[in-house]
Amino acid sequence: MISIDIEKNLRAYQGKRTLKISRNFPAGSITKIYGPSGAGKTTFLKAIAGLITPENGKIIVNGEVWFDRSSGISLPPQKRMAGFVFQDYALFPNMTVHQHLEYATNDTVWINRLLTIGKLETLHDHKPAHLSGGQQQRLAILRALAIKPKVLLMDEPFSALDAETKKILLTELKAVFDELKATILIVTHNPSELDGLTKSELLIE
């Protein structure tokens, strides 16, 4: 269970404003997050991961306090270990597909399984520059899953995938999500693409 009640100041096109979110996400649930550009969707995910610090509030994950402004608690991202799929993928240009996963985990069985799920087995020695946009996006997803996170935060993770690949990947991912029992938040610009995968949603305006 993720319990969030935060406030974060944003610099928006229209000037400064405050992102306020108060919400509980049940353990193991998958929630799609949508809303207009600049509404603070990415900021919200990064605040959970510990990559930015909210001005106020609390973030409690599975009973552990990740952030509490009033008591000065703010776990670093290294301790939160939330899987994060970045909108720009944030792949490491110096590492091959396999090295990306090895950097995240030593579990070779898990690495091989992820490569199969992402259909990247034959490309395991390729660096990101030699992958297509869709392959890069799949690698970003696999890397986030490599740490077997209890919280998975995905920022537009399927935007570069064609409909067929997306459908197959979502089926595979659903099995992995169930297995990991992770609480998953997915930011999307196309909420309908996640129909059947998510049961709850959050609109950020």
Partner 1 sequence: MADLSPIWLTLKLAAVTTLLLLVIGLPLAWWLSRGRSIIKTIIEAIITMPLVLPPSVLGFYLLLAFSPQRGVGKWLQQNFDVQFVFSFKGLVLASFIYSMPFMVAPVKSALQQLPITLAQASYTLGKTRRQTFINVLLPNIKPSLLTASVLTFAHTLGEFGVVLMIGGNIPNVTRVASIAVYDSVERMDYASANTYSLILLCITFIMVISVFLFNKYQAKSPLD
Smallest separation (angstroms) from partner 1 to the CB of 45: 10
Neighbours of 68 (CB within 10 A): 14
User: What would the x/- binding string for partner 1 be over residues 41 to 60, using CB under 8 A?
Assistant: -----x--xxx---------
Between CA 165 and CA 191 the distance in angstroms is: 17
* Strands lying side by side in the sheet with 56-61: 15-25, 2-12, 56-61, 64-68, 73-74
In this complex, which beta carbon is closest to partner 1, that of residue 20 or of residue 136? 136
Chain positions 142 to 171 lying near partner 1, rule: CB under 8 A, are 143-144, 146-147
Q: Select from 1, 92, 130, 203 the one that contacts partner 1 (CB under 8 A).
A: 92
Closest CA to 120 of 108, 107, 134, 106: 134
Closest CA to 104 of 51, 149, 135: 149
Neighbours of 22 (CB within 10 A): 11
Size of the site for partner 1 (CB under 8 A): 25
The stretch among 29-37, 62-70, 84-92, 168-176 that binds partner 1 (CB under 8 A) is 84-92
The stretch among 4-12, 29-37, 86-94, 177-185 that binds partner 1 (CB under 8 A) is 86-94
Would you count residue 83 as binding partner 1 (CB under 8 A)? Answer: yes
Would you count residue 90 as binding partner 1 (CB under 8 A)? Answer: yes
Smallest separation (angstroms) from partner 1 to the CB of 7: 22
Q: Residue 58: enclosing H or E segment and its boundaries?
A: strand 56-61
Between CA 57 and CA 7 the distance in angstroms is: 6
The stretch among 23-31, 71-79, 114-122, 130-138 that binds partner 1 (CB under 8 A) is 71-79
Neighbours of 197 (CB within 10 A): 16
Q: Select from 28, 38, 77, 134 the one that contacts partner 1 (CB under 8 A).
A: 77
Q: Residue 59: enclosing H or E segment and its boundaries?
A: strand 56-61
Give the footprint of partner 1 on this chain (CB under 8 A).
46, 49-51, 76-78, 80-84, 86, 88, 90-94, 103-104, 143-144, 146-147
